[in-house]
Structure 1
């Protein structure tokens, strides 16, 4: 059988292909991001993130672009393929990812690993390898996960608050250089104006989220949703009363944590404990 020809020369990876098509349709019509936003709605920064692959946006955005460009169903179909791509994220996490990309503010409690938005390439690669990912699948998943960091970059980045349990800073990587890079990245992120980072040291007592990674998102419509996850399952929580209970637990835990300045100093002390790799 002869090899399949690539007709368009564009990416065959669904997420990247969606970004390419969104960008191509705009540039072919000579539109700026600002002009597109004026006509279609939403903020220009959202369309910039769509074109860079930093976010997938929502199906409503894909439909609005299809209507504007006269491409009925094209972008929505590409969006569905990208979101459903099995090389991206677990099924129960996909809706959370879509909401995360459009959240106006985020906050997170991390039990044993840095939050995905603050993981370095080295951390992601070792974590995925430990989970059994190999070859092209590994590379695709690394790209997908590290691309999430772009959400917190740039002047339009949303505010992000995170509480790291001390175990996050003690559960080091096998490669010392990669672990130093991860700790350094956390210390650097703690200095950004849109990031507030707390460390919850050992010995501060029990609290309501002891074994559960929990993420909160404030959405454009004013709602807050939560995503609670452990080693075996994750759940998107949208019921107001349940979200409020999780929020109260988070607030109580924040009262037990170090201040942002103390937390950054704590991370820098941990960084000093990591042996430097010998020069070759």
Structure 2
């Protein structure tokens, strides 16, 4: 009990001291690395070979491993992916994923304004919405990230159809039973098996909510963070959300050359809800297209 009280007192003291020390016109840059892991067994019904899994992982690497820079002041921030040269043939992604590119993400914690440029299947969108609050539960657990003492906070975050990183197979707990049933079914033809493999998209779903663990430092007393994350009494240096980890690797305070934090402007303006509906519609089209391809082999796909 005494240990928790002392940590809480340390947190309050750090917040008060740091707030006084920061000038109104200060600016900083935080560099992050983001990595998402995906269970390859979720694709292809768990029937992919080790070589096929590795090949798919290599194609997805540019989508799942990224580096970002968060430029911030007391009220605003802009979160941008760092540009890098792709190896020949790299960065193509696979079906759908490679056709989705996130642009600069702007947050204003005073006006609660959120803006992001997003390209999806060759079309540019500007997602404009109100900055959504997360109901953080503040903890007293601490650790060190570089020279900064960080405190733990947790929250439950609602997600939508545009978040591909949380894809998972439906009824994952019953997968083994289904595999056993398939093995017993001696009447199943190779043609039917092909249909099942083409219907992988039909087996995928996105959960309604995910659990988020964030680590923030009151030594930088702004309530900003990477991506959608904000609202804590200090800069968020690490986020663990479902299968994604975002970790701050470097911080530069008051750089000699300050950067303008400009609002994104490119694209057709939509809300987050409208953009999620566009994603859902496209995913349905893909399900019908790839599912239909398997079924067409039986009746509609004549060959001369």
The two structures have a TM-score, normalised by structure 2, of 0.24
Bigger RCO (CA 8 Å, 6+ sep): 2
Q: Which structure dedicates a bigger proportion of its chain to helix? A: 1
Structure possessing the higher radius of gyration over alpha carbons: 2
The two structures have a TM-score, normalised by structure 1, of 0.26
Q: Which structure dedicates a bigger proportion of its chain to strand? A: 2
